[in-house]
Structures are given as C-alpha cells and as structure tokens.
Amino acid sequence: MAATSAGLLLYRRSAEGPSILLVHPGGPFWKNKDGGAWSIPKGEIGDGEDPLAAAIREFQEELGTRPVGDFAPLGEVVQRAGKRVLAFAIEGDLDAAAIESNSFTLEWPPRSGRIAQFPEVDRADWFSLPVARKKILESQRPFLDRLEELVRV
C-alpha cells in the first residue's frame, strides 16, 4: 500500500493575485531539475497522526518555522507512484531565503561507501499562480486550482 503524505500550501494575496510558496527537494537527484520538480512542503503521516498535525510538523521541519492561522482543506491527489497527498491551504508570509530545512543522509555517489548529508529542501520561493503551475509536480497542480477557487470567494 502506498504511503500517505500531508502538506501545506502557503499563499499570500497581492493585487496581481495569490503568490504560492513552493519548495525544491534537496539532494543529488533533484539538483538540476526545475520545471515540474517543486512541491508543497509535505511529508508522510505517522501512524495514528492527524493529517493536519502532520502537515504542520512537516512544514516546520522543512522550512524552520511553525505556521499559525486558519487552515482550509484542499482535498487529496494521487501522485504517479501511487502516494496519496492531502493538502491544506493557509494564508501567510515568510522569508523564503531564510528557510532552515532538516536533512537526510544518503550514500553518494552510489556504491561509493561514502555517506553524504543533504537538506530535505534546498530552497523555497514565491511564485505567481501561472508560474507555480509550471514549477509544481504535475500531480499537485489540482491543489493550485482548488486554492484559486478558495481565494475567489
């Protein structure tokens, strides 16, 4: 059975429309990928863990700040490998250049016997909705559509 993750879609309003905060995955596999590689901050839901609590925890681990405010459910999507992702929207702001991500270890280069440490998120940035649609993983694009409907109301 595929894992289930939860994440937060942080947005801020402007005269041009909402800006979306996306994160770029760290590590060597994602180093030179851009379009279709960004994501909402997210991670696996622990056994018995509330999805919103997991989304808040993952946001804090990946960005170094705890989000506070009113969370709006954006439903779920299923990614290509079968992983389910539940998302929640929250309006807010943060300095994308000042994120502090947790890290993971990986044997790199493969079969070298060397263990290297990489940030889980190597950068974050704010994007307009049209640009975010190009940057985000294709399977997560429905979250942007749902957010657009939410902020229109």
**Domain limits, the chain:** 4-152
- pLDDT tens for the chain, 153 residues: list them: 678 999 999 999 988 889 999 999 999 989 999 999 999 999 999 999 999 999 999 999 999 999 999 999 999 999 988 999 999 999 999 999 999 999 999 999 999 999 999 999 999 999 999 999 999 999 999 999 999 999 985
What pTM does this model have? 0.94
Beta pairing, strands 19-25 & 42-44: unpaired
- Distance of alpha carbon 153 from alpha carbon 20, whole angstroms: 17
pLDDT on residue 153: 57
Burial class (CB in 10 A: 0-12, 13-18, 19+), 115: exposed
CATH code for the part of the protein at 4-152 = 3.90.79.10
Task: Calculate the alpha carbon distances from 47 to 4, 10, 124 in Å.
Answer: 10, 25, 28
Question: Cα separation of 36 and 131, whole Å?
Answer: 11
